Structure 1
Amino acid sequence: MKMRLVSVVAVSVVALSLVFSAGLFGQSPPTAPATSRVAIPAKAGEKFDLAWIGKIVRVSDPQIAPDGKSLAVVVVRNDYDEDLNVSELALVDTATGKTRSLTHGRKTASFPRWSPMGDRLAFLAGDAEKHNQIFVLDMAGGDAEQVTKSPTSIQQFAWKPDGTAFAYAAIDEAPKLKDADKFDDAFEVGNGSFLDREKALPTHLWLIGAEGREAKRLTQGAWSLPVAFPPGPPASPIAFTPDGTKLIYVRLENTYSGDRKYSSPQVLDLATGKSEAITTHTTWAGFPVISPDGAHVAYLYLRDGVERNYEDIYVVNGLKGDGANITQAIDRNFYRALWTPDSKAILTGANDGATAALWLQPLDGKAARLDLNGVTPNTGYWLDVNVGAQGQIAFAGTEPHRPAEIYLIDSPTAKPRRLTTFNAAFDDGLKLGKSDVVTWQSPDKAPKNWTENGILTYPPDYAPGKKLPLVLYIHGGPNSASKDTFSTFAQLIAAQGWLVFEPNYRGSDNYGNDFFRAIIDDSGDGPGRDVFAGLDMLKKRGIVDENNIAVTGWSYGGYMTTWLMGHAQFWKAAIAGAPVTNLLDQYNLSDANVARAGAIGGSPYTGDWMKHWVEQSPITYYDKMVTPTLVLQDVGDYRVTITQGYELYHSLKDRGVKTYFYAYPIGGHSPADPVRMRDVYRRWIEWLGEYLPRN
């Protein structure tokens, strides 16, 4: 379940989509070592299974060198023996795609950023204390040199435009207490998660020379820069102005997670040490980026300043003002703004129908949608794109039958070309399920009679017209969308001989602001009608075994799973991952807590709003739930509290409904490590296999 947290990482298991696209499941180890550089090609007729999930290489954060001749990228592989996502950096030639490793012997390497001249590459990696530090690699040769010695992990950094220094963000160091003072640890509770054991320390800015030495503190106080709460977008990036005299960043008024909406773009004068707000907006404003010529600042802000609206891109002339909304006409929910080298336009992207799209939006005039030739950019609440100084566009994206690679667009009028081949093994003989975009009309009358869509994935050997069991997988968020692209989860389920249906219900962010807002104070009924209408459309095609339909989902998908269980009894099986079952627990105990009031209309403790919260909580309808159910959740889930998993478990088990609840003894909204992610897959498939026949 994702809250709109403009300046911090928000939500769902990627709505579980990212977790499933990166994760693993199965009954046996991969056939090749997880750290193998070259995957073994498929045998003739081989189907997608655990071994193939283990071969998937994840790529992200492409960064084009200033001369445009190469790019750096983060490459992640799974190490099951150590239960790690091992990340390294690779260098890719933009003309030939030739690739070589840049980092060796490290378990983590991330956030590659080129020096202004392109002669050095800086990145984040762990030190002996496992704190992320800035390292710099001379591209002429030699080992990477450690620049910083921060007592806490550095979260992000930016090169000074002349290449002589770095600005970076790091959380404050906790005071060192001795003797009895170590136990004097009561803390003031505010709008934080029930998992809090102390008041979070703030994150602030520092400056250090590119050669290292002593770091200079730039900001301090009880306020904070945003930090990342995965899964979701990174914290709002910091950046120098082109003349190197100022820094652009985002200020949060305190460190309580429920107050993250109180955010505003700021500019810090390095000479005076004083900061000023760029805009008058003090809520939901973030991700400011300055144009290459220093004349404009673009930032994300809610359309018309109305809570629960799409995020649009506003552009300010200079460093002061609210600016103008330049993307409202596109009517999509934007994740990011990237300037073109000439400072005359912004590249941006968003979910769009059954895909994700990129647009080039000039400061004046109509946006142009780029032709991506069937490639879908990665948009996990962030746009994984980079614009180079020569005007090239690099992005991580997928095609329907291939996991993510890096693609390059040489000019705005060119089509993308696949640059990397990390997942080349998927090209040879592997049998994958075909996916279709399906559409239907929402069941409501005008003005809500939308044409809705979803993704239907068939088993690899599907015979047209044959009726098969169907697994409903509902995305989380809810402001996310299922897209027609490579889906590890859908392919894995389809390989069992089942149809997989991923509906985009109202509240999804792929069809316009009105569709997006239609979920306000209608958390379950409206989206539920959309899902049922989509199922009815598929039944009319004569391809669904109507006696064998399962409902599953994670986060808000878990909310919809339990809501549908309480409003229909034909489900053969259900899986509720990190399920939102009690909205009051979400308000009182989760990390976003009071910020969730906008999704309903008001606090449950004011006016007559309490009945709205209760009526829209799936647990209210527990006595109608009769479906055999598997519940999965992390004990330290700050986004959807595990209390709700327990409520669902007892409400079913006490009435004799077959129910199993497996909890993972870790923090986070879903397992992110390879071994536990594999276990999620294994339990998911095994549970469905108990109830659905395989064909």
Structure 2
Amino acid sequence: MRIIYIVFLALLSNPCFSQKNASVSFEKWVSLKNVNSPVISPDGKTLIYTMTSTDWSNNNYDNEIWMSREGGEPFQLTRTSKGGSSAAQFSPNGRFISFLADRGDKTQLYVILVNGGEAIQVSKDEDGIGSYKWSPDGSQIAYAKTEADTKKDKAMKERFGGFGVEGEEYKQTHLWLLNFNYDSAKVPIAKRLTEGNFNVSGFDWSVDGKSIIFNRQRDPLINSGVSADIVSINISDKKITPLISNPAADFFIRWNPEGTAFVYTSTVNDSLTQFYKNNRLFVYDMATKNSTEIATDIDENKSVIDWNAKGLFVSALERTKSKTFTVDTKTGKTKSVNIPLDLIGTVSFSKNSDIIAVLGRKHDGLNEVFVGRLNDPLKMISNNTAQVASWNTPINEVIQWKSKDGASIEGVLLKPKNFDPKKKYPLLVVIHGGPTGTDFPELAPGSVYPIMHWVEKGAVVLRVNYRGSAGYGEKFRSLNVRNLGVGDMWDVMSGIDYLNSKGFIDTSRMGSMGWSQGGYISAFLTTNTNKFKAISVGAGISNWVTYYVSTDITPFTRQYLEATPWSNMDIYLKTSPMTNINKASTPTLIQHGEFDKRVPIPNAYELYRGLQDRGIPSKLVVYKGFGHGINKPKERLAAIWHNWQWFNKYIFAEEEPMFVE
């Protein structure tokens, strides 16, 4: 077999493209619009959110801001040709909407009057800007910017060419201040606020506007998060005051409304707990300088939604649903809040009213934007689900079974609408990444696996929330510690046994696939079982030693395997797909991004070479210029087609070309 390099696909609308047994084309599926990031104005009367659409001509996704006034019909507010507009915020007085956009002068900050008019540019930074925050009185804007090359950097490159030192290839991010005056004809010049050999990774203004609190870490590299402390800087004299300095990672999240306390997350003294253990939330009192842990009664990772006059709000997964809670900051105890949706992405609170905006969905719909009041019915503002109203979408059912060791496992079973339990259906297993990801019921599941199309073609699909998945508590997430791959395979194969006991799957026609950790589990299945007719490994780990020495998150391996390769090679061998490569027999498609730092591409080549040497049908597709994900529409379309072809050939005995010349 040969390695295929994908650069792009041309002429996507060309009628010579082939796609049998599907009422919706892959292009139409990839072109589904998505809504995100709702923000409600301080007075609760105006809602803004982003809508993402697919720009095939520029091979990109376009984000634009939409607006709804007092719950009315939404309309498009911005139109930016290059990548769209993002990070929309209301000014503190609610008069302006600010956003980031690249309109030919790198990413700059723009504002537009809520009542209408043209957007004006209010920053002119030659390097472009990143995240930003309005001061409480609206007179200033703080923004973060990554440092540019210095004269020394440029001189070094001119003399010695390009080279990099591992662990030293980065530029620090610092804070800058911008005065805001809408009526001024001039774009103001920003002034630098922070400087030094550290990185700013998140920030917010104090309630009185006299200081800025931020997370300070030694550099922006992902593993440096363990060094993060919380500090504040005085605006007038730039004096930095340390606030939280535990031995491990500390990250500021949100002030209380009075500015007398803030909530933060910390691993306290354990630098590895950010992977499978529950995160920990604390409230720091500025007067007493004491911290109190909160929300310990939630056995899951917790996300802070907001801290406002109505309380401190957090969210957490509970199996295949998400829940919202208020936290009593004195006792640390939580109480459930009723938001009538199965999944909640974002909740935005207005400052001067009780109106909220919510991004979420029921399991039988796509993400939508809603407005309303807590504990009341919500009004849907967007109409995203209408895009699939006429599609032949699958039936989703959450099922449960026992794994080999007795662990209770859930999964989502997708069946065709004309499902007949007396028939035998091919089974395709699609495995999520993470491992702390979670699969939910979905009408048209995304990524690079055409699940909806296979169900329409006449298959059933099982999406397994294997041990390690979020939503089932810390103990469940810990079940694959020192048992990666092995326990995951138990969960997948026991799920297949459960479906087989119901009598409606054809075990002679089964396939498995997944990306990242799902790719690793699929690779483990490739070399440890012969039950499948075909497997697809997307950005998967094939050898934990190879992975450990080249990934950008080495602590991940040390935590889950509780060892380095040099201290315990046996556990690395036990859990690596390559250990049993000589037992492999399943035709395997391997998909990988060329510049993947999370799961570096040697993992793909190692598995591919092992399969090739054994004469097993295998194909390696390298997506040129991509990292861990395929985040452009044309290459995503290519990855979908490669999976469609592979499984159609080995599961459905159909040879289907991507296009006919």
Look at both structures and tell me which one has the larger radius of gyration over its CA atoms: 2
Name the residue aligned to 2:235: 270
Q: Within 5 A, what are the aligned runs for 1:226-305?
A: 226=201, 236=202, 238-302=203-267, 305=270
Q: Deviations over 1:546-595 (max 9, x none)?
A: 11110100000001001122221111100000011122232211222345
Is the CA contact 1:267–1:276 (under 8 Å) kept in the aligned structure 2? yes
Q: CA deviation at 1:223?
A: 1.4
Which moves more between the two structures, 639-648 or 582-591?
A: 582-591
Distance 1:680 1:391 in 2: 45
The 8 Å contact of residues 360 and 370 in structure 1, kept in 2 or not, is answered as: yes
The one-letter code of the counterpart of 2:388 is: F
What amino acid is aligned across from residue 81 of structure 1 in structure 2?
A: S
Greater RCO structure (CA 8 Å; 6+ sep): 1
Please show how residues 543-554 of structure 1 align to structure 2 within 5 Å: 543-554=504-515
Asked if 1:528 is matched to 2:489, the reply is yes
Aligned to 2:365: 402
1:311 aligns with 279
The answer to whether 1:683 aligns with 2:646 is no
Deviations 1:142-172 (A, max 9, x none): 2111111223232200000000110011100
Give 2:324's match in structure 1, choosing from 340, 353, 358.
358
Q: CA RMSD in A?
A: 2.6
Indicate which of 397, 417, 421 corresponds to 2:379: 417
Does the Cα contact within 8 Å between 2:60 and 2:633 map onto a contact in 1? yes
Q: How far is 1:371 from its partner?
A: 3.5
Question: Is 2:36 the counterpart of 1:69?
Answer: no
Deviations 1:619-667 (A, max 9, x none): 2221122110111111011111011011111110111000011111113
CA contact (8 A) 2:534 2:586 kept: yes
Distance 2:159 2:644 in 1: 46
The amino acid of 1:29's aligned partner reads S
Structure-2 separation of matches of 1:510 and 1:663 = 33
Distance 2:102 2:460 in 1: 43
Task: Find 2:177's aligned residue among 203, 207, 211.
Answer: 207
Is 2:538–2:590's contact at 8 Å kept on the other side of the alignment?
yes
Residue aligned with 2:594, SS: strand
Structure 1 length-normalised TM: 0.85
For 2:657, the equivalent position in structure 1 comes to: none
Provide the residue aligned with 1:156 in structure 2.
131
The answer to whether residue 308 in structure 2 is matched with residue 331 in structure 1 is no
Q: 1:578 maps to which residue?
A: 539
Q: 1:462 aligns with which of 407, 415, 419?
A: 419
| Alpha-carbon displacement from aligned partner over 1:100-153 (angstroms, at most 9, x marks no partner) | 111124332000010001100111101424x21111112233211111122323
Q: CA deviation at 1:365?
A: 6.0
Partner letter of residue 580 of structure 1?
A: I
Residue 334 (structure 2) aligned to one of 367, 373, 376: 367
Q: How far did 1:474 drift?
A: 0.6
**What is the CA–CA distance in structure 2 between the aligned matches of 1:357 and 1:442, rounded to whole Å?**
27
Q: Quote the Cα distance in structure 2 between the aligned partners of 1:568 and 1:544.
A: 18
Q: Does 1:598 align with 2:598?
A: no
Deviation at 1:471, TM superposition (A): 0.7
Find the counterpart in structure 1 of residue 435 from structure 2. 478
Specify which of 92, 103, 106 is matched with residue 116 of structure 1. Answer: 92
Contact 1:351 1:481 survives alignment (8 Å): no
1-structure distance, mates of 2:589, 2:445: 20
- Give 2:257's aligned amino acid: P
Closer/same/farther in 2, CA of residues 30 and 141 from structure 1, 3 Å limit: farther
Aligned counterpart for 2:396 among listed residues 435, 441, 464:
435
Question: Is 1:142 the counterpart of 2:117 in the alignment?
Answer: yes
Q: Does 1:609 align with 2:568?
A: yes
Q: Conserved in 1, the CA contact under 8 Å of 2:255 and 2:307?
A: no
Flag the 1:162–1:432 CA change in 2: closer, same or farther, 3 A.
same
Structure 1 residues 298 and 693 mapped into 2: Cα distance closer, same or farther (>3 Å)? same
- Can you list the C-alpha shifts for 1:45-76, whole angstroms capped at 9, x where unaligned? 99444254144111111111111112111111
| Paired residues of 1:338 and 1:387 also in contact (CA < 8 A) | no
Change (3 A) 1:669 1:289: same
Partner of 1:34: none
- The match for 1:451 among 394, 408, 420 is 408
* Alignment check: 8 A CA contact 1:84 1:673 kept: yes
Q: Residues 169-208 of structure 1 correspond to what in structure 2 (within 5 A)?
A: 169-176=144-151, 182-184=158-160, 189-190=165-166, 192=167, 199-208=169-178
Check 1:248–1:681 CA distance in 2 against 1; reply closer, same or farther (3 A cut).
Answer: same
In 2: Cα distance, 1:458 partner to 1:49 partner: 19
Identify unmatched segments of 5+ residues in structure 2. 1-7, 16-20, 182-186, 655-661
Query: Could you tell me whether the CA contact under 8 Å between 2:248 and 2:269 is conserved in 1?
Result: no
CA distance in 2, matches of 1:568, 1:287: 46
SS at match of 2:494: helix
Q: Deviations over 1:511-553 (max 9, x none)?
A: 1111112222221112221222222111111111111110100
Give the residue type in structure 2 aligned to 1:327. A
Contact 2:393 2:443 in 1 (8 A): no
With 557-566 and 303-312 compared, the bigger mean Cα shift is at 303-312
Partner of residue 216 from structure 1, selected from 191, 196, 205: 191
Deviation, 1:510, is 1.1
CA contact (8 A) 2:523 2:537 kept: yes
The answer as to whether partners of 1:482 and 1:504 remain within 8 angstroms in 2 is yes
Alpha-carbon contact 1:248-1:289 (below 8 Å) kept: no
Deviation at 1:85, TM superposition (A): 0.4
Aligned partners of 1:542 and 1:265: how far apart in 2?
A: 57
Match of 1:106 among 81, 102, 106: 81
Distance in 1 between residues matched to 2:587 and 2:506, nearest whole Å: 18
Distance 2:619 2:288 in 1: 56
Q: 1:218 corresponds to which letter in structure 2? A: L
Tell me if the contact between 1:166 and 1:209 (Cα under 8 Å) persists in the aligned partners: yes
Q: Is the 8 A contact 2:144 2:174 kept in 1?
A: yes
Q: Structure 1 residues 324, 535: CA separation in 2 closer, same or farther (over 3 Å shift)?
A: farther
SS in 2 for 1:292: coil
Q: Is the 8 A contact 1:376 1:485 kept in 2?
A: no
CA distance in 2, matches of 1:681, 1:341: 44
- 1:557 corresponds in structure 2 to 518
Contact 1:301–1:311 (Cα < 8 Å) also in 2: yes
Give the superposition deviation at 1:320. 7.3
Change (3 A) 1:488 1:614: same
Residue 493 (structure 1) shift: 3.2
> Contact between 2:27 and 2:637, CA under 8 Å: does it hold in 1?
no
- Contact 2:22–2:457 (CA under 8 A) maintained in structure 1: no
